[in-house]
Amino acid sequence: MSTTRILTIQDISCFGQCSITVALPILSAMGIETAIIPSAVLSTHTGGFTGYTFRDLTEDLPAIGAHWQKQGIAFDAFYTGYIGSKQQLNYIKNIVNTTRKEGALFVVDPVMGDNGKLYAGFDKAFASEMAAFLKGADVILPNLTEAAYLLNEPYLGAEYTEAQTESLVRRLSALSGGNVVLTGVSFDKAKLGVAIYERNTDRVHYYFEDRIEGSFHGTGDVYASVFTGALLRGFSLREAAALAVDFTVRAIRATLPDREEHAYGVKFEQAIPYLIKRLSD
């Protein structure tokens, strides 16, 4: 029986539960052989920490890809998260194109910002390059802020309609040619979830859970990792999107008893038994 092999490309934050530190254990727990390319190495993630170290690994990417080509290494799936520069986008697209198996899944989480603002180090020029990078992706996973910058239009803010949301995901789909899962969607202050656009049916579906007040670092990476793993385990787009919401909520709830001390991430490790059970149901 062949093993499904995925490559995830994003940063390593040596301390703090995000990016590869989250993706590698979650995907591995889901039974998926996971290779990595770190886009950068940071001493901590950038949320709530100051004075962190940052090592840009842009120049390492072409040599990694070239070596893999010589070794005949190929992948069934690709999942990208935090990418630090426009130059990296070009290198990564080349690695995907030269190491992909026929029919390989390509999932992009276009990590750039939240709450209406870009993260430090990103600008509108990068957002434009990211929009071009999305072409050919099977699924993209932007939040509302990233969606606005990808489309070069105003951020919707806290209040918007289903009609606006459905227009948004269709226009996002036009960038990639694939499906869209828009995260952080809410039409009711008590609920928070995702809008799922199936391109082949041109239909939008929603999945919500009870909102937990507060900000929790790394939950986007937790979500994207579970979602991608579920697709590779044979879940449908809607099933994968829902499972990822359920798991992320579990991880947040596991963190609530000591959220002040554990402000650097969520205790996703404690929710992994729940995830494994859901996979076997």
The CATH number of the domain holding residue 163 is: 3.40.1190.20
User: Residue 51, CB half-sphere, CA atoms under 13 Å: how many?
Assistant: 0
β-strands 117-118, 203-210 pairing:
unpaired
d(CA 29, CA 276): 7
d(CA 77, CA 6): 5
> Residue 120's pLDDT is what?
83
β-strand partners of 265: none
β-strand partners of 139: 107, 179
DSSP string for 169-203: HHHHHHHHSSEEEEEEE-SSTTEEEEEEEETTTTE
Which residue range(s) make up the domain with 22? 5-280
What beta strand segments (E) does the chain contain?
A: 5-15, 33-44, 54-56, 75-80, 100-108, 113-114, 117-118, 139-140, 179-185, 191-198, 203-210
> Residue 123's pLDDT is what?
95
> Residue 29's pLDDT is what?
97
> Residue 32's pLDDT is what?
98
Contacts of 256 by beta carbon, 8 Å cutoff, 6+ apart: 212
> Residue 55's pLDDT is what?
94
What are the per-10-residue average pLDDT scores of the chain (281 residues)?
89 95 97 97 90 94 97 98 93 97 98 93 95 98 98 94 98 98 96 98 98 92 98 98 98 94 94 96 82
pTM: 0.96
> Residue 121's pLDDT is what?
84
How many domains does the chain divide into? Answer: 1
Residue 74 CA from chain centroid, whole number? 21
> Residue 48's pLDDT is what?
83
